[in-house]
Amino acid sequence: MTAVAAPTTPPSTAPSTPKKKDRGGPWLSLLAWVVGILFVLPVLWMVLTSFHSEADAATNPPSVFAPLTLDGYREFFSGGASPWPPLLNSLTASLVSTALVLVLCFPAAYALSIKPVRKWTDVMFFFLSTKMLPIVAGLLPLYLFAQQTGLLDNIWLLIVFYTSMNLPIAVWMMRSFLSEVPVEMLEAASVDGAGLSKTLRSVIAPVVMPGIAATALICFIFSWNELLFARVLTATVAETAPVFLTSFVTSQGLFLAQLCAAAFVVSLPVLMAGFAAQDKLVQGLSLGSVK
């Protein structure tokens, strides 16, 4: 007797979900490239002009294919006033103030995020309200204070002002970064007997290191580029690099090639710091954006 094979049924095919079309993907990429080029083009033009002679830099329309020369950089480094003291003053004020901001904002952000105090939102808005006052409105009292205390043309006065200027935004940034720290890590550290200082140093800091790098870079850029305080409160001893740049605009005329060379040299530390920390900067700025 022969066995009859059971009829085979064809496998059921599940309806395939249609793939979503990436609408506007190429156009958005093209728009991003155009916007990026528009932002980078003035910087590239400044660098190109710095390698031209003064005669070629002053032509209208500009001479794009003019011969290149290093005369602007020679005049900048070996001209009348040496650029090294202003550059060192800017570097000192930016680095020291950024370090002080990180030391002060880290425990403050910890208290406002991981261990929130009562009415912490009022505290955060108070920090933000300090940025709403125009700097010019408080410049005269600060100048009189510096004059009465003998701190005019003193680099430490700029360090204090830069620290107080960047501290509110640093607290806001660090709070958003610290709010992403898992509570389980803090509970495990508490069970292991770690104190507050060890928890901040060994547990929280490595987790939010991209946020710390982003905060430090932004505070460094703000301090390096600050002009109004340095222009009013310094003269020769504590003169910073942005103030030194204004000396190239004289009544004798605008030396465009030399000014572009000086601007590129002054911008170089910020560009190098941003390029070196670009991965940490992007990672830190997006740390608190995705839940």
Give, for 108, the enclosing helix (H) or strand (E). helix 84-113
User: Is pLDDT larger for residue 175 or for residue 89?
Assistant: 89
Q: Which pTM does this prediction carry?
A: 0.81
Instruction: Give me the percent of the chain exceeding a pLDDT of 90.
Output: 34
Among 216, 191, 211, CA closest to 110: 211
Query: What pLDDT sits at residue 211?
Result: 85
Extract the runs of DSSP E, i.e. beta strands, from the chain: 249-250, 253-254
* Phi and psi at residue 60, to the nearest 5°: -135, 110
User: How far is residue 260's CA from residue 265's CA, in Å, rounded to a whole number?
Assistant: 9
**57 pLDDT tier (thresholds 50, 70, 90):** confident
Task: Using DSSP, state whether 162 is helix, strand or coil.
Answer: helix
pLDDT tens for 151-185 read: 999 999 999 999 999 999 899 888 888 888 887 88
Instruction: Give exposure, 181-219, as e/b (b: 16+ Cβ within 10 Å).
Output: beeeebeebeeeebeeeebbeebbeebbebbbbbbbbbb
Query: What pLDDT sits at residue 281?
Result: 66
Which residue type sits at 218? I
Backbone conformation region of residue 225, classed left if phi is above 0, alpha if psi is from -120 to 50, else beta: alpha
The top-scoring range by mean pLDDT among 63-72, 197-206, 245-254 is 63-72
Instruction: Give exposure, 29-53, as e/b (b: 16+ Cβ within 10 Å).
Output: eeeeeeeeeeeeeeeeebeebbbbe
**198 pLDDT tier (thresholds 50, 70, 90):** confident
Longest Cα pair distance anywhere in the chain, in angstroms?
A: 118
